[in-house]
Amino acid sequence: MLPTQRLKKKPHQKSRNGCINCKLRKVKTFQCDESQPRCTNCDRFRLDCRYRNLRQSVSVSPPTVVPQVDTEPAHVAPARRKRGRPRKDWTSQGLASETHIQPESSQPLLSSDTELNITQAELLHQFITCTGPNLGGSDDPNHPIVKFWSRNATLLAISHPYLLHLSLSLAAYHLAFLASETEPSKAHHTLLARHHFSVGLTQANEALSSIDTSTCGSLYM
């Protein structure tokens, strides 16, 4: 009998210093290649590629010299280190990440046409959980049309930025419709809806000039 061969695992690139957009996605198929000044994923989706510079956030202090004590026994065997992963200073890493994060209020509302921010994440959540299922016309979450708009349409929008912008626009209009006339969020979401609709429509018109089998489905939606 022939000896059985072990199947080798397909290597994949682990990104520890990837950009902020790739870290927010947390999808293995979208590992960041850490290209400068813009990684391949951000260049593909026309996103503003930004990296966290943790080296500037952490101040390295010089090592402290501890004087030797004469009262220590002369013949003391050094403690043996157990096998395992090296210890990490989790406290310093946590403080570095906290000092690097800026509050949301200090960022402009629309700093870039395609920059991924908390506001767009809120609109995407609204589309998946509420707007998309309402387009299915059924209260059954397992209905095929409801599944299509809440799951398949979102996955398709990830590969086509113009469809993502139009989905965010629809979700923003939905939130503006649900808000009362006196709520400040009504005008806020209306502004976001118009912005994403304008960007998505411009990108869709550009894609129509070179439509093929890979874009016909998303353009039809």
pLDDT greater than 60 at residue 9: no
Q: Print the SS3 string covering the chain.
A: CCCCCCCCCCCCCCCCCCCHHHHHHCCHHHCCCCCCCCCHHHHHHCCCCCCCCHHHHCCCCCCCCCCCCCCCCCCCCCCCCCCCCCCCCHHHHHHHHHHHCCCHHHCCCCCCCCCCCHHHHHHHHHHHHHHHHHHCCCCCCCCHHHHHHHHHHHHHHHHCHHHHHHHHHHHHHHHHHHCCCCCHHHHHHHHHHHHHHHHHHHHHHHHHCCCCCCCHHHHHC
Q: pLDDT class for 197, splitting at 50, 70, 90? A: very high
Higher pLDDT, 47 or 125: 125
**Which CATH code, of 3.30.160, 2.60.40, 4.10.240, 1.10.10, is assigned to 13-56?**
4.10.240
Rounded to an integer, the average pLDDT of 109-136 is 76
pTM for the predicted model, two decimal places: 0.44
**Mean pLDDT, rounded, of the chain:** 70
| Per-residue model confidence (pLDDT) at position 190 | 93
| Per-residue model confidence (pLDDT) at position 37 | 76
Domain boundaries, the chain: 13-56, 117-221
Q: Looking at 135-139, 168-172, 188-192, which range is the least confident one?
A: 135-139
Higher pLDDT, 199 or 100: 199
pLDDT greater than 90 at residue 198: yes
Rounded to an integer, the average pLDDT of 54-77 is 49
| Per-residue model confidence (pLDDT) at position 149 | 83
pLDDT greater than 50 at residue 176: yes
| Per-residue model confidence (pLDDT) at position 100 | 41
| Per-residue model confidence (pLDDT) at position 7 | 56
Rounded to an integer, the average pLDDT of 92-97 is 42
| Per-residue model confidence (pLDDT) at position 38 | 79
